[in-house]
Amino acid sequence: MTSALAVSRTERAWATLAEVPDPEVPALSVRDLGIVRDVVDHGDALEIVLTPTYSGCPATEVIERSVLDAVDAAGLGPARVRLQRAPAWTTDWISEDGRRKLRDYGIAPPGPVAADGAVPVRIVGRRADAVACPRCGSPRTERLSAFGSTACKALYRCLACREPFEHFKPI
């Protein structure tokens, strides 16, 4: 296989993966979420490298199957998935387009992770770091719960428009 064909197949695979929705936040693709780390064309098969959002993520098997099904449906197979858990996934890998899609979906996107990778754990009341409301943009919000519909999200309420929303936690 020539290198031009390999690049073309790899690029088509990346484009295909941009259409595979995340099962927990379907407004985002697995590519937007940043869990697709690489696509390698080995000639006989494509290798899709995925980094789960966390090692115990219950959606990992569903994501693997969705990725393989999409690549097969696009006529790019055979393919296999390799899980790469190091370095650990971070919300910094969510694309800018993915952050926009989160806001449009009504979920406040995460801010950047601290430069040293440490995320302080704070056990406090409803006041937490300021999170702008994805509906009206107001910074006047309060945290209602440290956990939302999934462990990676927290539940907030906007004090301006009074609407509840989830915030994707930075990790």
The reported pLDDT for the residue numbered 16 is: 98
The closest alpha carbon to 23, from 72, 84, 75, 65, belongs to 65
Q: How far is 34 from 116, CA to CA, in rounded Å? A: 20
Instruction: Identify the band that residue 6 occupies on the pLDDT scale cut at 50, 70 and 90.
Output: very low
Domain final residue, candidates 89, 123, 154? 89
Q: Please tell me whether residues 80 and 133 are part of one structural domain.
A: no
As for how many domains the chain has, the answer is 2
Domain final residue, candidates 89, 123, 148? 89
Domain annotation covers residue 113: yes
Domain annotation covers residue 143: yes
The reported pLDDT for the residue numbered 10 is: 95
Q: What is the pLDDT of residues 14-38, one digit of tens each?
A: 999 999 999 989 999 999 999 999 9
Q: Please tell me whether residues 9 and 77 are part of one structural domain.
A: yes
Q: What is the pLDDT of residues 57-79, one digit of tens each?
A: 888 999 999 999 999 999 998 99
